[in-house]
Chains A and B, each alone.
Chain A
């Protein structure tokens, strides 16, 4: 076939136009880093991606799961070396570090013109804002509460879950029977255990940081560490493996019947419900109150934009998580409490008695401590120091001294 010069140019123009149209219609691809890992979490995420794709056919989302323990390592490497994702998951505990390292894009303008903002009260945004700028859209909340073996309580003639630390100790004594390999409290002494050490310190009246300075009240902190460590050291109401027990171990201990109570958040409800019958074998209750304060964390988690390349598509994706459909899809799959007040009114929450303790906790719960260096201090100082108290290597006094010293160094 012979083409004249004119025909060739015309054909080229048509092809170029077609290619242009095709690329104009092609979906904008964005990627999303998160630390969901369990089957239920992945099912919830898949459902959200599916709902988002139906509502936004012009945007395709590629998700990448990073183990929670490695998440900050990967994000910080991406910040230093390049290769940031378009969007990523942001939890309250990590927010200060993420903004300090410049990992997040300011989305205040988008948020302020977004209709969904009305469903998210101010306290949802507090943990996602810094110096007046908003960096992430809250999507769900981890509400701290207590899981307890209702059948063990019934068996021991205990009518209600403990409301204070004194009652907690008294119940612990009644429920522990090492000869049956049964312990009252699945204490988290291994990775992540710092969370509850800090909670107990605050419950005994010791703050951590005030106006950017270390503000641990030494006598209160010593009292708190002594009380909490003595549950293992003196009272022996926690299993012998406590100093190395992290999430997996406390969960197995509770599921297999070794322990009668654990402190965790709403996120493990689905996993526990799969092993034990809600309302019969286990129930939930608000965390017991300390002598000076009633501490339970309500940690809002959300999503932020990590780079500005596809900011409009990225915004659509992260704001979609704050909408009711997405929140309910995640709740159904994982049991994660919605951040949106519209989703909280859903029958699946209001009609389920197991969620009553979480709804109650929302009224008094506090946001997690958020200051630059909090994660490093908690994991690298509080955790090993408290472990050393549990194993008799340090006294509570020495441990508190080291915590203060470490906190001052972290804040410098």
Chain B
């Protein structure tokens, strides 16, 4: 009898045990496994590795020094003047760019939402800057603002706003502002696109009802548009802030962080530390600081905007 039962077990279909598992609560974990594995490989592993690098000495040109250094890089950062300049510039760069982009994006979205003649064409034109890679946009604006040949300088001189061509990126008083304007031009369609999608989702009835109650344009904007767009605004701001904090390419093309670190930001500083000094440990620590700044910002911002309570 024993022999017969063993034979029948060994001839069981290989998928029958899977079938049995599918009836248990473990099945859901099994189905999640490929995705979890993928997430670990592409998200968790690089992030953890970044943290690990930040507590190690990792200088490619001095492999003999490599090893654990604990919090050394973070302590050095406290007395690193370029870090503090970069932190301040990052805050200015991101805050100013997001505010300008949001304002322009909102105006563009409202205009496009009116379905006036030519809206589609203007829609494409408004979105064009966002389609341009940062490097292309950077070179284009470097030429437009060029102190020798720049069209914008020429226009400003002809209109009488300037007496001679201005080297916008060579003056520490104007370099950061000029790069912010270029970034705002490049990034405002992102807000326009998201705001337009949000505006399309607001029922027209709400505005009609408000009009019946005697609400003016500003009241409608304040009591209907803004509350209804709150989730979109929050998501757009967070995504854009993350993107701006992490992208040094436009500044790399326009100023390289200069003159004299006046446009240096954290992401560019981390990039230059890694790929010019080959000091990956310190660059890793800078990146971890950026990571925490973004985490704290996103948490506070989401709490303040109270979107999770809705």
Contact = CB atoms under 8 A, between A and B. Distances in A.
Interface of A: 72-73, 76, 79-80, 96-97, 100-102, 181, 189-191, 239-246, 249, 252-253, 256, 258, 372-373, 375-376, 379-380, 383-385, 387-391, 393-394, 410
A232 to B, nearest CB: 10
Interface stretch (B92-100, B167-175, B227-235, B297-305): B167-175
Given A372-B62, A373-B277, A376-B279, A243 B259 contact: yes
B278 A97 contact: yes
Interface in B124-163: 146-149
Contact of B148 (A243, A252, A388): A252
B279 A240 contact: no
- A-B complex: 5 closest residue pairs judged by Cβ atoms: A388-B260, A376-B277, A241-B167, A73-B275, A387-B259
Contacts of A240: 147, 165-167, 170
B278 to A, nearest CB: 6
B148 A244 contact: no
17 contacts: A72-B278, A73-B274, A97-B61, A100-B63, A101-B60, A190-B259, A239-B167, A244-B167, A244-B169, A252-B149, A373-B277, A375-B276, A376-B278, A379-B276, A387-B260, A390-B260, A394-B260
A384 B258 contact: yes
Contacts of A242: 167, 170
Contact of A256 (B148, B172, B255, B256): B148
A181 to B, nearest CB: 8
B261 interface: yes
Interface string B207-226: 00000000000000000000
Contacts of B113: none
Contacts of A244: 167, 169-170, 175, 255, 258-259
B272 interface: yes
Given A101-B63, A253-B148, A391-B259, A243 B278 contact: no
Contacts of B264: 384
B198 to A, nearest CB: 39
B257 interface: yes
Nearest to A256: B148
Main SS at interface, chain A: helix
B264 to A, nearest CB: 8
A191 B256 contact: yes
Contact of A393 (B62, B165, B260, B278): B260
Interface string B276-288: 1111100000000
Contacts of B62: 100, 372-373
Interface in B65-108: 82
Contacts of B274: 73
A388 B62 CA distance: 29
B273 interface: yes
Contacts of A243: 167, 170-171, 258-260
A245 B170 contact: yes
Interface in B222-256: 255-256
B260 A256 contact: no
Nearest to A393: B260
Contacts of A241: 147-148, 167, 169-170
A372 to B, nearest CB: 5
Tell me which of A243, A252, A410 has the highest count of chain B C-beta atoms within 10 A of its own C-beta: A243
A258 B175 contact: no
Nearest to B147: A241
Nearest to A69: B252
A379 B60 CA distance: 17
A26 to B, nearest CB: 35
Contacts of A373: 61-62, 277
B256 A190 contact: yes
Nearest to A244: B170
Given A372-B62, A384-B257, A391 B171 contact: yes
B80 to A, nearest CB: 10
Contacts of A73: 274-275
Given A72-B275, A240-B170, A384 B261 contact: yes
B301 to A, nearest CB: 32
Given A241-B148, A252-B149, A256-B148, A376 B167 contact: no
Given A241-B147, A244-B258, A380 B167 contact: no
B167 A79 contact: no
Nearest to A74: B275
A189 B175 CA distance: 14
Given A101-B61, A372-B62, A375-B276, A391 B260 contact: yes
Nearest to A252: B148
Given A239-B147, A244-B167, A372-B62, A388 B259 contact: yes
A390 B60 CA distance: 32
A74 to B, nearest CB: 9
A380 B277 contact: yes
A389 B261 CA distance: 12
Nearest to B85: A384
A100 B275 contact: no
Nearest to B171: A391
Given A72-B276, A181-B165, A393-B172, 20 more contacts: A97-B61, A100-B62, A190-B256, A239-B148, A241-B169, A243-B167, A244-B258, A244-B259, A245-B170, A256-B149, A372-B61, A375-B276, A376-B276, A379-B276, A380-B273, A380-B277, A384-B264, A388-B259, A389-B260, A391-B172
Interface in B3-20: none
Contacts of A394: 260
Given A244-B175, A253-B148, A380-B272, A76 B260 contact: no
B151 to A, nearest CB: 15
A291 B257 CA distance: 33
Contact of B278 (A76, A189, A383): A76
A151 to B, nearest CB: 19
